[in-house]
Amino acid sequence: MSTATAEAPAATKLSQLDQLKKFTTVVADTGDFETMREFQPQDATTNPSLILQAATKPAYAYILDKVLADRKGSGLTGTAQVEDVIDHLLVGFGLEILKIVPGRVSTETDARLSFDTEGTIAKGRHLIALYEAAGISRDRILIKIASTWEGIRAAEVLEKEGIHCNLTLLFSLAQAVACAEAGAQLISPFVGRIYDWFKAAMKRDYTGAEDPGVESVTSIFNYYKKFGHKTEVMGASFRNTSQIVELAGCDLLTISPDLLAKLAASDEPLTRKLDASAAQTADIQRLVLDEKTFRYLLNDDAMATEKTAEGIRKFAADIVKLEQFITGKV
């Protein structure tokens, strides 16, 4: 009689996405609901570009149709009516997303308010009021605001009211420090756009830890952990999985559907690269900021100045396109 025993099945290797989730909160950078269901992120982020793409797809027509029906009797006309529909549309998408993700959704303010502190505060309060009217706690919402001096001041006021903010279009340590000192809940440094600028300016490619976008987020993360800032760091705008792998251990990373799929399809080893405990012993100088210093440091950083301005212009252009689309519907 044979004494051979069946071999134990080989252990299933974890995908890079599952490995990443051990160190970092994964966020879906999309307005597509099916992607969220597939990859099961904790949170989701949206912006005017993503909502514009989603709102024009037949699969999501029901959200716009419901908003148009609900707001038909608002009594508003012209631009006020269009703005009202867009605000409710943004929240409508957010409400659907919150049925899928267990955590938070980020909803962006109008980029044309990026230099208007009072206007940004008013918009943030209004969006939160719409969510709360729908029965959603403000703890599940992040109001996205551009990391201008005016935007950061608006976030400071909103945070004191318990309205949590995601400071976006962030490209420099000066912006990050100002956000933390204002008590912002979260920042979104744009890894890929920093990489794009340096690749074009220096006429060379970058990989691994030397990627300027990776270096920027690493320095911000280490600064925050060194000086005990509670603001969460969420790397954003990735161009490849290498950038994501190099930032494993960051508080959060918001990742597009195509890169989520690539991470899910790979079982290559992924290890923690950013470590809060190690950062506390790093040799880092504290940055002392006031408005004049902030504006000078931002101006002195050509990449950060250009990419912040470009980002505001592009998001503003997509809001205009969304307005035109809604105007055709109302």
Active-site residue, selected from the candidate residues 144, 225, 226, 307: 144
Question: Is 144 in the active site?
Answer: yes
Direct distance between the N- and C-terminal alpha carbons of the chain, in angstroms, rounded to an integer: 81
Distance from C-alpha of 85 to C-alpha of 55, rounded to nearest angstrom: 12
Q: Which residues of 196-229 are buried (b: 16+ CB within 10 A; e: fewer)?
A: bbbbeeeeeebeeeebbbbbbbbbbbbbbbbeeb
| Amino acid of residue 206 | Y
Please state the three-class secondary structure of the chain as a single string. CCCCCCCCCCCCCCCHHHHHHHHCEEEEECCCHHHHHHHCCCEEECCHHHHHHHHCCHHHHHHHHHHHHHCCCCCCCHHHHHHHHHHHHHHHHHHHHHCCCCCCEEEECCHHHCCCHHHHHHHHHHHHHHHHHCCCCHHHEEEEEECCHHHHHHHHHHHHCCCCEEEEEECCHHHHHHHHHCCCCEEEEEHHHHHHHHHHHHCCCCCHHHCHHHHHHHHHHHHHHHCCCCCEEEEECCCCHHHHHHCCCCCEEEECHHHHHHHHHCCCCCCCCCCHHHHCCCCCCCCCCCHHHHHHHHHHCHHHHHHHHHHHHHHHHHHHHHHHHHHCCC
Amino acid at the residue 42? Q
Distance CA 106, CA 42 (A): 12
H-helix or E-strand containing 43? Answer: strand 43-45
Catalytic residues: 144
